[in-house]
Structure 1
Amino acid sequence: MKKLIYLAVLSTLLVACDEPSTVLNPVEETGEKLFYQPENFPQPSYDFSKNPVTDEGFELGRKLFYDGKLSRDGTISCAECHSQPYAFTHHGHSISHGIDDKIGTRNAPAIQNTAFMDLFFWDGGVFDLDFFSVAPIVNPVEMDEELGNVLEKLRATEDYPEMFKAAYGSEEITTEGFLKALSQFMNSLVSANSKYDKYVRNEAGGEFTDQEISGLSIFKTKCASCHGTDLFTDGSFRNNGLQIYVRDPDFGRAIITENAADNYKFKVPSLRNVGYTAPYMHDGQFLTLKQVIEHYASGVNDSETLDPELKKNGVLGIPLTETEKSDLIAFLATLNDPTFISNTAFAAP
């Protein structure tokens, strides 16, 4: 099923390439861009030359993000599974559900700092943010709609043609304009104002306690090989030793690559805002950070594709004392960005 959904995404994009290209040249920007480059972040992966963020494009993308018209029956918006108070995740649900209360197969990941990502979804099935939104729209257990139907619904409204004209200079509502507006909104969801950020930038409010400093030191030694850079992910795909459900296994990255060496490998998630994004892992099996750390300390399951970082010198997991566990949790709390989850510019219009 997942493979078919990704093929549907590709088919939609090929059709989009044949549409009129009036949206390729956005109108001149008026006002400050909402996307910004944090000084402690790496350079963006997204090519902003093809889709710069404008006030008008952002507002169009924001309205679309919160609009149920993207789903078959009008009940499911992007925000249904990506709620701002929880760093744009589906809080409280181990496995996300969509239209008609149908249950999916994975936990919806956070939408944050997308401009710095190369691949999307737990299995990396989409390689460009501009294509990202198609997958949930066509997925039968998420929005269960056809992109063409979505565009027709938008064309029948009074406000969307005017918003497309403000963003792109034409009232014409195309696949390209639709997807790029959503990208403009998502790319503006930059989270870089946590206590940790203030600490590394030597700003007021960034003073670490002794426990947080200890936790940072432990993190650098035992966690940063996967959760690297100030994005707190290296963007790789790894098998982190979760329990494998034999009756209905999720093969992760291998679904896309069709390579057995990628079995049970999933994208390393960013730890930013980790205090807001429970439950954890691709299947939401852990409800607390304490459970996550206990997994790495004593619950790692061995398999052929287990990441070598979790089996050093033949020892499974990451040895941690009780004090180190507590210090790690204290440090992880410094990655929470309260301004990100309360920014009214990101809320429903």
Structure 2
Amino acid sequence: MKKVVVMLALFTAVWACKKGNELLGEEEQPFLGFEQPANFPEPAYDFSRNPITKEGFELGKKLFYEPRLSRNNTIACGSCHIQSAAFTHHGHDVSHGIDDRLGTRNPMPIMNMAWHNEFFWDGGVFDLDFAPVNAIHSEVEMDETVTNVLKKLRAHPEYPDLFKKAFGSEEITDALFFKALSQFMLMANSANSKYDKIMRKEQGASFTETEERGYVFFQKNCADCHKEPLFTDLSYRNNGIRPNRSDDQGRAIVSGNPKDAYKFKVPSLRNLSFTAPYTHDGRYLTISRMLDHYQNDVIDSPTLDPLFRRSDGTRGIPMTEQEKADLLAFLKTLEDPTFLNNPLLAEPFGSDFTVN
């Protein structure tokens, strides 16, 4: 009897430790590498020049949540790209960076990056490996330089060994630094929503009548820009939003072409409920208000996308209140809880990451 009591106590202690680790996010998770969803196209990223490994991914994850990437060691990539908000800066209309400085645009989600060729609202970066440079050098985000970041990492007691495990050398170079960050971002994939399960005919999943009506409306009125399954065609379009006070002209700033004025990258509709506020400057707080824009508020301009010009001379997307409710129901099927709560992508417990 005494032996049974001792064994029970040991079992209880082990179980308690296991549950404690789960609560703290420390439970060991299997690393399966990059997996292409069955209903997705081939990725655009060239994995042959940066194959994802467990060690490379773990290094990239530590760097993503590393505040030393900023001038005063307070702002990490994860400060403005929060997992529970699909790696956006939930609750902020524009980015809040170092010293609480304000940017001019709402951070786009880090999600399904392997299928993108260009990045940011204006497409100003054409390679994922270079994307972090913008934030690091931005005066309103991290206000640092890559050179200084590398110096800090080289002086850190852990990073030389982590780079050796990931890339075979303790040398910390800018190329390897960017590759590690890319490995983390390339694993931030959302492809397990109700919609995805229906498209893959998994687990008997099916739309409700309301969701089905919303899907039909979406395919007729929205799918040209928000192309399945990424729910973006990766193009740049002027959707008739009134210019803001800073007169942000979007794609034209990068291309220098006046015909690109007020065009911005078409955002994905995945996980919309968690990525508020909406548009490039975060002016709309709810999805319903965003749809109101398409119903009633589309502003005319020379670069307005032709899709928003109706044959009767009016603009926007006509929809009844019932159609709007149906569409909102369909958009809910694009939510992916497994992505929003994936422990592999979560901030490491015990990090010195500081959120401003």
Q: Please state how far the C-alpha of 1:229 moved relative to its aligned partner.
A: 2.1
Q: Please state how far the C-alpha of 1:157 moved relative to its aligned partner.
A: 1.0
Q: Please state how far the C-alpha of 1:192 moved relative to its aligned partner.
A: 0.2
1:99 lines up with 2:109 in the alignment: no
Letter in 2 for 1:95: V
Q: Please state how far the C-alpha of 1:312 moved relative to its aligned partner.
A: 2.6
Distance in structure 2 (CA, Å) of the matches to 1:133 and 1:312: 40
Aligned residue in 1 for 2:353 = none
- Give the TM-score taking structure 2 as reference length: 0.88
Letter in 1 for 2:63: L
Aligned residue in 2 for 1:17 = none
Local SS of the residue matching 2:333? helix
Q: Please state how far the C-alpha of 1:158 moved relative to its aligned partner.
A: 1.3
| Structure 2: gaps (5+ residues) | 1-29, 349-356
Q: How does 1:153-172 map to 2 (within 5 A)?
A: 153-172=152-171
Cα displacement string for residues 70-92 of structure 1 (whole angstroms, at most 9, x for unaligned residues) = 00000000001000000000000
Does the Cα contact within 8 Å between 1:297 and 1:319 map onto a contact in 2? yes
Q: Please state how far the C-alpha of 1:36 moved relative to its aligned partner.
A: 1.1
Aligned residue in 1 for 2:340 = 341
Distance in structure 2 (CA, Å) of the matches to 1:64 and 1:248: 32
Cα displacement string for residues 50-81 of structure 1 (whole angstroms, at most 9, x for unaligned residues) = 00100000000000000000000000000010
| Structure 1: gaps (5+ residues) | 1-30
Does the Cα contact within 8 Å between 1:126 and 1:132 map onto a contact in 2? yes
1:179 lines up with 2:183 in the alignment: no
Aligned residue in 2 for 1:304 = 302
Distance in structure 2 (CA, Å) of the matches to 1:205 and 1:265: 40
Q: Please state how far the C-alpha of 1:146 moved relative to its aligned partner.
A: 0.7
Distance in structure 1 (CA, Å) of the matches to 2:205 and 2:337: 14
Which 4+ residue blocks in structure 1 deviate beyond 2 angstroms? 31-34
Percentage identity across paired residues of the two chains: 58
Distance in structure 2 (CA, Å) of the matches to 1:169 and 1:205: 46
Q: Equivalent of 1:291, from 289, 293, 301?
A: 289
Q: Please state how far the C-alpha of 1:248 moved relative to its aligned partner.
A: 2.4
Letter in 2 for 1:255: I
Cα displacement string for residues 152-176 of structure 1 (whole angstroms, at most 9, x for unaligned residues) = 1000111100110000000000000
Distance in structure 2 (CA, Å) of the matches to 1:117 and 1:321: 34
- Matched residue count: 318
Q: Please state how far the C-alpha of 1:275 moved relative to its aligned partner.
A: 1.2
Q: How does 1:65-76 map to 2 (within 5 A)?
A: 65-76=64-75
Local SS of the residue matching 1:318? coil
- Give the TM-score taking structure 1 as reference length: 0.90
Aligned residue in 1 for 2:124 = 125
CA RMSD of aligned residues (A): 1.0
Letter in 2 for 1:281: T
Further displaced range: 198-207 or 127-136 = 198-207
1:51 lines up with 2:50 in the alignment: yes
Local SS of the residue matching 1:291? helix
Aligned residue in 1 for 2:19 = none
User: Of the two, which has the highest radius of gyration?
Assistant: 2
Q: Please state how far the C-alpha of 1:301 moved relative to its aligned partner.
A: 0.6
Local SS of the residue matching 2:326? helix
